[in-house]
Amino acid sequence: MAEDQNQGQELQWKKFEYVGTVINKVEYSHTILCLDPLPQPSTIFVFLGEGNFTFSTAFAKLRGSNYDEIVATDISVSKEIKDGWPRRLRLDATKMGETRNVFLEKLFLDQKPSRIVLWFQCPWADKDENGRKYSNQQAFLKKVMAAAAKVQDPGELLLIGLCVDPTLPKNKPTEEKWVTSYGNPKAVAAQNGYECLGADREFVGKMLDGGYEHQFTDPGLNFGKRKILKENRQFATLLFKRQQLHPAQGPHQTQDP
């Protein structure tokens, strides 16, 4: 039985309080993501760490509305596309901007949106900007969420997609599995003023049907050739809602200093 349903917004969810899913020994409410048939033009979807850009492209197809409201970003982008589709920009997900306005300026939008949705599908980083190796991916997620908290207003959504296949990677039996390395995103989110609404285990299936390709290199598989995850069961999407100001942020700065 659905206990909670978001109303009047383009990206909606249904939350089932009495049905849960467990990831890394942490229980999440079972949540189903869906799209409102009436898009709201004041919403901007910003995809972080896009890699091959197939995730944002699949979402654009599924959404079936104005592509100007979708921005795909990655730190590896060498040639930015600022106008039209696909809009691809260089952005460090751990340094989005000290204020909301600074972040919006980086997106080169014609007009400011009233709502920002951030989406990071399968975040992963081996080292930080100073070349220091991350101890695990929870440390990286902590930086991403702290950066997101500086640019989002209360009520706005942050979605984190995880690879939850417990068998990957397979190259070394003793190597920490991907899903284990993510640690406890729910706890990290709470530290940065986000409420965890639950975990969706179905939406990525629609993205896969739309052309999403999650590629990875595993030295233990097929001599290190790139592989593609193709099954919905291998993914989960965690849904977080901005609740309060970042502890170190003070009053939310919507204006540049």
Smallest CA-to-CA distance from 142 within 91, 188, 74 is with 188
Q: Please check the confidence at residue 212 and state whether its pLDDT lies above 90.
A: yes
Mean pLDDT of 32-47: 81
- Which residue, chain included where needed, has tokens 């952005």? 91
Q: Which residue has the higher pLDDT, 236 or 219?
A: 236
Angle ∠(13,211,41) on CA atoms, nearest 5: 45
The pLDDT value recorded for residue 3 is 42
Mean pLDDT of 179-206: 95
Which amino acid, one-letter code, is at 186?
A: K
User: Which residues fall within 8 angstroms of residue 171, CB to CB, at 6 or more apart?
Assistant: 218, 219, 220, 221
Mean pLDDT of 217-223: 54
The CATH number of the structural domain formed by 4-242 is 3.40.50
pTM, two decimal places: 0.87
Mean pLDDT in the chain?
A: 84
Per-residue pLDDT of 65-101, as tens digits, reads: 667 789 999 999 988 988 877 789 999 999 999 999 9
Two structure tokens written together for 43: 């919403």
Strands 226-229 and 214-217: antiparallel
What is the Cα–Cα distance from 230 to 114, expressed in whole angstroms?
A: 35
What is the Cα–Cα distance from 231 to 39, expressed in whole angstroms?
A: 28
Two structure tokens written together for 54: 């197939």
